[in-house]
Structures are given as C-alpha cells and as structure tokens.
Amino acid sequence: MGVGDVSKRILLGRKLRSAQLGETLLPKKIALPIFASDALSSVAYAPDEVFIMLSLAGASYYVWSWKIAIAVALVMAAVIASYRQTVHAYPSGGGDYEVATVNLGRRAGTTVASALLVDYVLTVAVSISAAAQYAGAAVPLLHNHEATAASVAVLLLMAMNLRGIRESGAFFAVPTYAFMAAVIGMCAYGFLRLAQDTLPAVESADLRILPDPSYDGALSTIGLLFLLARAFSSGCAALTGVEAISNGVPAFQRPKSKNAATTLLLLGLIAITMMVSVIVLAKQMGIKYVDPADIDRLTYADGTPVGEDYEQNAAIAQIAKAVFSDFPPAFYLVVVVTGIILVLAANTAFNGFPVLGSILAKDGLAPRALGSRGDRLAYSNGIVFLAAMAILLIVVFNAETTRLIQLYIVGVFVSFNLSQLGMIRHWTRHLATERDPATRRRMQRSRIINAVGLSFTAVVLVVVLVTKFLAGAWITILAMAFFYALMVAIRGHYDQVASELEADDGDKLLPTRVHAIVLVSKVHKPTLRALAFAKASRPNVLEAVYVATDPKDTNRLVDDWERRDLGVPLKLLHSPYRELVNPIVAYATEIRRANPRGVVAVYIPEYVVGRWWEQLLHNQTALRLKGRLLFTPGVMVTSVPFQLRSSQVAVEREERDTFRVRAGDLRRGQVDERKRE
C-alpha cells in the first residue's frame, strides 16, 4: 500500500463492500442528530436575527418578539405535518424534487432541485460561519480570522462525512443531544427563576438602541407591518433543514417511512420548544441586540456609543451567562455545545446534498460522477463539491452570518411551495381512483394538511421575497437560475450523447481497409511486442513509424532495423522542429483521408513502472499522443504495455494488502472471503 493509500485509509477508514450498505442504515436515535441538527441549530441564530430586525425601530418593539416566535412556530408545525405526509408517500429519497417532478412536471422538479442545491450550500456556509462567530467571541486568537476557522471546520466536516453516514452520525450524536439538553435545561432553569422572581438581566440590558434613521420616529401601520414582516422572515430561518429528512428516508432503518415520520415529529417538538423559549426568555431578561455592522446604534445609558471594540455576544450566550451566573461551568457548557452544534448543523446538508445529487445524476440533470459511491459507500463527489462551494461563500462573505442570512431560506421556501402543491395533486390523483372509504378519508386528511402547509409557506415566500430581495435574496434567485440553466444544459448534453450513440444498421458494416502503424522509438522489447501484437490482428497494411528528429539516432535505428530483418517496413517521419506528436497525428489523418471508409490502427508501445517517483523520470509522450489521436476520426488507438520489474513490486504489494488480516476481519467474516477470492 502506497503513502497515498495509507493516508486515505487513515482518513476514511477501511473500504466497505457494496453488500455492506445495509450496515450503514440509521436507527432513529442516530438519525435525529444527523438530520435534525440544522433545524435545531437555528435556535443559535434565528432569535438573534429576529431581535436585529426589530431593533431597527428601537428596543421598544421587542414586545413583538414572542408573537413572531409563535408565528414561526405555527409555520414550522404546518411544514412538519406536511412533510410527514411526504415521507410516507415518497420514501425513495427524492423528497421535494421527486414530488414536484412526478406531479408537476420536469420543469418544476428542476426548479426545486436548483433551490435545494443553493439552500444546502447556504446551510453549510451559514451554520459554520455562525459557529466561527461563537468561536471568535470565546477565543481571542480567532477574532478577525473567522473565515479561516470556518473553512477549516468545513474541511473537517467533509472528512468526517467521507467516512460514511453511520460513522459520522455516531460521532455527531453526543454533541447534538448535549446541545438539546443544555439549551432546554437553561430555558427551564430560566423560567423557574422567572416564576420565583429571581431572573437576572442579561449583560446588554442596561444599553440603549438608537433607531435606524429610516425607522426614526413613530411608525405608520404600513411601516410596522413591514418591520414585523422582516423580523418574521428572518425568524423563518428556523425552518431550514426540515426537508432534509424527506431526502434521507433511504438512510433510515426499516420501517423507513415510519421512522422518518417519527424523527420529523421529534424534530418539530424540540425545535419549536427551544426557539420560542429562547426568544421569550431573552425578551424577559432585557436583551439589546443589533446588527454587528451597526454596532454604533448601541449606546450606554448616558448616550455614549459602545464603540467598535464592544463584544456583542449572541442571545443564547447572554442568557446562559446571566441564568448561570452562580455556576459558570454551566455557562461554558452551553456556549461550547452551541458552537459545536452550529458546526454539526452543516452535517444535515452533507447528508442531503449528496443524495439529491445522486438522484439528479441518475436523471441526467447532474454529472454522473455525483451518483458514484466512494470507498465508504458515501457519495464522495457530492460531499467534496458541497464543501468547495461552501468554502467559496464563506471566504467571499468573510463568514458574516448576518450577510449570509439574507441569502438564506429563499430557496428552501421555493421548494416547500412546489412540494406542497405537488402533494395536493398527488392526493387528488389517487382519490380519483381510490374506492376504499378508510383510505379515502386518510388521503383527504393528508390533502388538507398539505393545503394548509402550502398556504403557510406561500405567505412566507411572498414575505421573504418582499423583505429580503434587495438585502441579498436576489443573489439567491440568480444562483437558482444558474443551477437551473446548468442542469437543463447537462440534460441536453446527455440526451444528445445518447442520440449519437444509438446503434443503427450502418454500425454493422466492416471497414474496407485496416492500415496499422506501430510507433517506434527504439528497437527494444516493448517495440517488438507491439509489432507481434499488430501482426496477430492481421491488418491489410502494417508498417512501423519513427519520428526522425536527430540524424545520428535515425541512422542508428535504421541500421538496427535492417540488421534484424523484422519483416515490417519502417516509415520515417522527418520533424525539423523536433516535434513528436504532430507528425504522427498528421500522418494518421493523411492515411484516413486517402481511404475514408477505412480504419487507421495505431499501436503505441508503453512500459509500466510501479513507483510514483518513476513516473517523473520518464516523459509522457504516449499519454499526450493518445489524447490527440482520440479526437481524430477513423483512428483507433491501442496501448501495448510492457511491465517492468517495479510494476510487479506494486502488484505484490497490493496482493499483500488484500490478504492481510486486520483487526475485526474475522468477526466480520471477511477472512474466508479473501481466501475464496
């Protein structure tokens, strides 16, 4: 095993056979932290965004915060109920994309796919950026280096997911459950102290907020509605990640649909409880929170600005610091697990995006490489692509969550709407043929649930587009249009290739003439083997071709050729500019032009080395030549390999690795399998 293989095995673990795919399926206790971490983690930044929007008109408008929290909770409940119908009706893992494609057509499905692709990338970028902001507040060394820290976190998360979904899930389960326990415990203790009238104020309670100039003065009814709509749309970031479970149904243990629906229900109950509790508790504790870019609107009681050096901690951090003022370890636990869950929240996208990419690849809307499983049975190419796109966004927006959040949730609510509309059509179509009364009642109930979900998500989408379009949502819409056009172009390419490759009667015709040429550099074993192989194929014409660049070498080769009497004529191609590839390509093209119905067969002798550094010691003329000849019509290229001794060393090394018994192989029954092989 080479250095590269050793490093890969250390990073990813041992290879898994295709038959072991069942071993990677998830029980509910592991599926919940894997697929729910995104929606749960929004508790760490969605409340902050609600307070930021309301702060535009001043802290007095925080009185609306709990009402906005209730509105977001109602939308989340409707969406959760709707997706429980989806996972039962479409358990194959296509989720919104499959629902829209089957019920609304290819264009709607492609629109949903483009929206989900953008949303998955943004999920990673927003979650990791928020975690980097937490880390920057806790670790002074990371301050102003959040983008670098976030990029490193994405790479680490990518490596974990490349090891496989079950292994990464087991790793993520502990911090996710710790986050749930820490935040729910913090809120429960806070409400207990509130009931006892001992609830302390947060660190920012004594500060003042200057209204934004555009909101200064008394707000009109329209102005107030627009402000509340902006705050509501920002709070709806809590709904992202819900759709990932519908895409990940195939990863659940049987019964898949039932387990996925149960996980969705648990996700909804936990997320709603945490989000509403944090917003209500923050309001009761007097939080003052503004956009970090507008920190000058935050002042002390005497009107003095806090200054750019002021460190504005997130809402959860401020609540935990005040609630656990008499027990600092609990505060650090809350902050640490919150930072970790924000990193792990991106794991939802790392599980949803590759599965969606594989489905799109199967349908011809994405490169087929996205449909290939890696050594650990994960869709490795999709994981790497997602990581690269997320890092690009993080670097461009400097890991600033508030800037990225404006691009967020547009895509997911587009997919929500089309998915719910598709589900309504799904139930309507089945009701037209179903005659069993009990089944019809169940279908009618499901259709009502999806109709309610559609009405809620449609309102949210309109609010999001109106309030966030100029703030950055237009970038998301452009990105969706780009991915849509790209997928249509990819599908067009695959359709065109399939049309060109379709066999017809003309493909049965034999070539009228085969003109074979064997490339010669020296009269040595690789050349003689290539000549023997070419003779065995019995072409109509066989000749050896040598590119003459140096007179002395040419004369030496001609003398050696004539002395050996090989029975094959030697053709010299003079190259005054010492080119090797162009003269051969030109000669093959000339032969083909002289006989358009014939075939030119080019035999290229190659010798094979076994060590990576040996590749650097030999030129790659054969590789470049093959690359050129592949684009020449009517030319067939055949490589005739000659294995050097070092190549045998590589084979023996691979065999030793194949039959080496590792820890756990006997328990897994793989020792006998290797012997049979």
DSSP per-residue letters across 411-447:
HHHHHHHHHHHHHHHHHHHHHTT---HHHHHHHHHHH
Instruction: Examine residue 255 and say whether the peptide bond preceding it is cis (omega within 30 degrees of 0).
Output: yes
Architecture of domain 23-419+456-495: Up-down Bundle (1.20)
pLDDT grade, residue 23 (50/70/90)? very low
C-alpha distances (whole Å) from 554 to each of 523, 561, 580 are 12, 10, 14
Q: Which of 250-254, 315-319, 403-407, 557-561 has the lowest mean pLDDT?
A: 403-407
Choice between 138 and 57, residue whose per-residue pLDDT is larger:
57
Region 388-403: mean pLDDT is 84
Identity of the residue numbered 37: S
What count of other Cβ atoms lies within 10 Å of the Cβ of residue 296?
13
pLDDT grade, residue 19 (50/70/90)? very low
Reported as a single tens digit per residue, the pLDDT across 455-485 is 888 888 888 888 777 777 788 889 899 999 9
State the average pLDDT for the chain: 82
Region 100-111: mean pLDDT is 92
What is residue 375's three-state secondary structure? Answer: coil
- 3-state SS track over 202-226: CCCCCCEECCCHHHCCCCCHHHHHH
Is the sign of the CA dihedral 29, 33, 36, 39 positive or negative? positive
Tokens linked to 359: 């489905």
pLDDT reading at 113 higher than 70: yes
pLDDT at 168: 53
pLDDT at 276: 93
Question: Cα separation of 558 and 17, whole Å?
Answer: 54
Reported as a single tens digit per residue, the pLDDT across 508-531 is 777 888 999 999 988 888 899 999
pLDDT grade, residue 677 (50/70/90)? very low
What whole-number percentage of the chain has pLDDT above 70? 85
Q: Which of 403-412, 570-579, 598-607 has the lowest mean pLDDT?
A: 403-412
pLDDT grade, residue 238 (50/70/90)? confident
Distance from the first to the final alpha carbon of the chain: 19
Location of structure tokens 């990640």: 241
pLDDT at 70: 93
pLDDT reading at 425 higher than 90: yes
pLDDT at 547: 92
Tokens linked to 76: 């989340």
What is residue 108's three-state secondary structure? Answer: helix
pLDDT grade, residue 107 (50/70/90)? very high
Question: Cα separation of 443 and 430, whole Å?
Answer: 8
Q: Which regions of 570-634 does DSSP assign to beta strands (E)? A: 570-574, 599-608
Is the sign of the CA dihedral 134, 135, 136, 139 positive or negative? positive
Region 63-76: mean pLDDT is 91
Q: Which helix (H) or strand (E) holds 641?
A: strand 635-643
Q: Which of 277-281, 405-409, 499-503 has the lowest mean pLDDT?
A: 405-409
Tokens linked to 590: 């000339």
pLDDT at 131: 79
Of 581, 604, 602, the closest CA to residue 592 belongs to 602
C-beta separation of 119 from 356 below 8 A: no
Q: Which of 15-29, 263-277, 377-391, 484-498 has the lowest mean pLDDT?
A: 15-29
Q: Select, from the ranges 26-30, 227-231, 403-407, the one with the highest average predicted confidence (pLDDT).
A: 227-231
pLDDT at 657: 54
Question: Cα separation of 244 and 29, whole Å?
Answer: 16
Regarding beta strands 514-519 and 599-608, do their DSSP bridges make them parallel or antiparallel, or are they unpaired?
parallel
Reported as a single tens digit per residue, the pLDDT across 608-637 is 777 767 766 666 778 888 888 888 888 999
Tell me the β-bridge partners of 605.
640
What whole-number percentage of the chain has pLDDT above 90? 28
pLDDT reading at 666 higher than 60: no
Q: Which of 38-52, 155-169, 215-229, 383-397 has the lowest mean pLDDT?
A: 155-169
pLDDT at 10: 43
Region 51-68: mean pLDDT is 89
Q: Which of 8-22, 227-241, 286-300, 313-327 has the lowest mean pLDDT?
A: 8-22
pLDDT reading at 673 higher than 70: no
Region 159-170: mean pLDDT is 64
Reported as a single tens digit per residue, the pLDDT across 240-264 is 777 777 767 877 878 888 888 888 8
Identity of the residue numbered 573: L
Region 574-592: mean pLDDT is 89
| In the chain, domain spans | 23-419+456-495, 511-643
Reported as a single tens digit per residue, the pLDDT across 323-382 is 998 888 999 899 888 888 877 777 777 877 887 888 888 888 888 888 776 555 567 788
Q: 511-643 belongs to which CATH class?
A: alpha beta
C-alpha distances (whole Å) from 203 to each of 193, 235, 570, 618 are 17, 23, 90, 68
Reported as a single tens digit per residue, the pLDDT across 185-230 is 999 999 999 999 999 999 999 999 988 887 766 677 888 888 888 8
Question: Cα separation of 267 and 477, whole Å?
Answer: 28
Q: Which helix (H) or strand (E) holds 564?
A: helix 551-564
Helix intervals (H) in 139-220 = 146-162, 165-195
